[in-house]
Amino acid sequence: MMSGDVERLLIQFQDEEGEVLGSPFDVPLDITPDKLQLVCNALLQKEEPVPLAFFVRGEAEVVSSLGLCVKALGVETEQVLPVVYQPQAVFRVRAVARCTSSLQGHTEAVISTAFSPTGKYLASGSGDTTVRFWDLTTETPHHTARGHTHWVLTITWSPDGKKLASGCKNSQICLWDPVTGQQMGKTLTGHTKWITWLCWEPLHLNPECRYLASSSKDGSIRVWDTVLGRCDKILTGHTQSVTCVKWGGDGLLYTSSQDRTVKVWRAKDGVQCRTLQGHAHWVNTLALSTDYVLRTGAFEPATATVNPQDLSGSLEELKEKALERYNKVRSAAPERLVSGSDDFTMFLWNPAEDKKPLARMTGHSALVNEVLFSPDTRLLASASFDKSIKIWDGRTGKYLTSLRGHVAAVYQVAWSADSRLLVSGSSDSTLKVWDIKTGKLNMDLPGHADEVFAVDWSPDGQRVASGGKDKCLRIWRR
């Protein structure tokens, strides 16, 4: 072959569902992703070209040139080569790099921390029995919400950002108004042991954000009507502590339990649909592929401003917007569920349709503490007591890479809204920001004096909040 000639081959663009785009296309072997992007966007004929990532045969990403990829996979260049294109987030979240505030106020460990759906408010729950709201413009304490009589174990924002629910070790649930810090309505009582998890009904199913599901160590799940302040349904069936409850976007409730099962329930009448079995030990945690879009409701991170605002619009408009965002993320297939367990493994399920798992994900050498889908649902991160975070394919459950750097158990992780970065909090007292594409450490954030139990990345991408044993809430920014 003469050196002047560049080897060429035929490629066929297709989307993630396998739908082909245009006819096979003749390209030089040394074509770069940027050039592929020009070609692909020309074929897509969108008004606004979107950033794309390319995968040869849908498995190896084209990073520097197509040729290197073809070589690595050992593909025949005589045949037409399928190249899958994946639209990426149009906006970029920048990694947080420094601690801008260390907020004191809690007198015991901070157990949970959460940003509201737009990133306007920040709340934290602590072993000192209080929930605190923090003012993010000035990064100062805003309200202290008193009402619980024991450790606050779990907090969750309603998807419209107007209410925060908190559950404590004394089996009580309180609702709070973030603007005033006052309790809304009366305390919800009924569980006989502590509250393990809380989850609101999705905004696109009910824009009033009226119903709240809770799971408890007493083995039951309750659905509460927060307007009337009473228990609407009690779901029983688990034989041991229920560790997690998720309210899916298609009207199903998913629960995990120490009885080693995951159960699927119909939210409208509380009927048990199926039991997912396979774990050999306690199931600790659940993640839905639609978690992020359900959490943010009608808020679109791509349109975030520097000063987060509450969403305006009628209930109907918010519902429409939330539904549109949900359908876009869900696309054709129903939502996927991942369960993580003390048996060191995870299962990927398609719970609406099948009681057999899609994949069993093994590789951790200690219990799995948290699993979390990326906002674009393509990836899955798992945090474990084996000091590592593992990244998996969110559709197939295939193992992709391990993020190593923590020197003790990893408790919690949070994705940036553009799915390109991940932050992790660990028992080694540091937070670490990881670049997912390279699998490398982007930022090491020391600063806490003890274990970091809770971490969250605001949906507008501006801040990361972390809390832990040193009773301080820290805010990290660019």
* Mean pLDDT across 369-387: 94
Reduced to 3 states (helix: H, G, I; strand: E, B; else coil), residue 321 is helix
Extract the tokens encoding 218.
């007493």
- Under a CB-based contact definition with an 8 Å cutoff, are residues 183 and 175 in contact? yes
Q: How confident is the model at residue 4 (pLDDT cuts 50, 70, 90)?
A: low
Q: Which of 414, 412, 416, 421 is nearest to 460 (CA)?
A: 416
Half-sphere CA count of 461, side-chain side, radius 13 A? 21
Q: How confident is the model at residue 1 (pLDDT cuts 50, 70, 90)?
A: very low
Position of tokens 């393509």? Answer: 378
Q: Which of 80, 76, 33, 84 is nearest to 57 (CA)?
A: 84
Q: How far is CA 154 from CA 83, 150, 348, 359, in A?
A: 44, 12, 25, 29
Query: Does pLDDT of 91 surpass 90?
Result: no
Q: Which of 13, 11, 63, 59 is nearest to 33 (CA)?
A: 63
Q: Per residue in 380-412, is it b (16+ CB within 10 Å) or e — as a string?
A: bbbbbbbbbbbbbbbbebeeeebbebbeebbbb
Q: Which of 289, 276, 287 is nearest to 356 (CA)?
A: 276
Query: Does pLDDT of 467 surpass 80?
Result: yes
| Of 150 and 73, the one with more pLDDT | 150
- Give the percent of the chain with pLDDT over 70: 99
Starting at the earlier edge strand, list the strands of the sheet with 346-349: 283-288, 337-341, 346-349, 359-361
Query: Does pLDDT of 346 surpass 70?
Result: yes
Q: What is the pLDDT of residues 7-42, one digit of tens each?
A: 888 999 998 888 898 899 899 988 999 999 889 988
Residue 227 is classified by DSSP as T
Extract the tokens encoding 330.
């869900």
Q: What is the pLDDT of residues 306-329, one digit of tens each?
A: 777 777 788 899 999 999 999 988
Residue 315 CB neighbours (<10 A): 13
Q: Which of 345, 189, 190 is nearest to 262 (CA)?
A: 345
Residue-level pLDDT at 158: 96
- Compute the distance between CA of residue 114 and CA of residue 155 in angstroms, rounded to an integer: 7
Q: How far is CA 195 from CA 152, 214, 424, in A?
A: 9, 7, 24
What is the model's pTM?
Answer: 0.90
Q: What is the pLDDT of residues 199-237, one digit of tens each?
A: 999 999 999 999 999 999 999 999 999 999 999 999 999
Identity of residue 46: K
Backbone angles phi, psi at 286, to 5 degrees: -130, 150
Residue-level pLDDT at 106: 94
Query: Does pLDDT of 348 surpass 60?
Result: yes
Find the range with the poorest average confidence among 6-10, 197-201, 256-260, 301-305: 301-305
Residue-level pLDDT at 275: 95
- Give the percent of the chain with pLDDT over 90: 73
* Mean pLDDT across 270-278: 93
Instruction: Give burial (CB, 10 Å; 0-12/13-18/19+) of 76.
Output: exposed
* Mean pLDDT across 92-108: 91
Neighbouring residues of 344: CB distance < 8 A, sequence distance ≥ 6: 362, 364, 365, 366, 367, 368, 384, 386
Q: Which of 192, 198, 368 is nearest to 283 (CA)?
A: 368
Helices (H), 170-301: 291-296
Radius of gyration of the chain (CA): 23
Residue-level pLDDT at 138: 87
* Mean pLDDT across 47-66: 86
Q: Rounded to 10 degrees, what is the CA torsion of 405, 407, 408, 409?
A: 10
Q: What is the pLDDT of residues 407-442, one digit of tens each?
A: 999 999 999 999 999 999 999 999 999 999 999 999
H or E element, residue 330: helix 315-330
Residue-level pLDDT at 128: 94
Residue 70 is classified by DSSP as H
* Mean pLDDT across 91-100: 89
Average pLDDT, the chain: 92
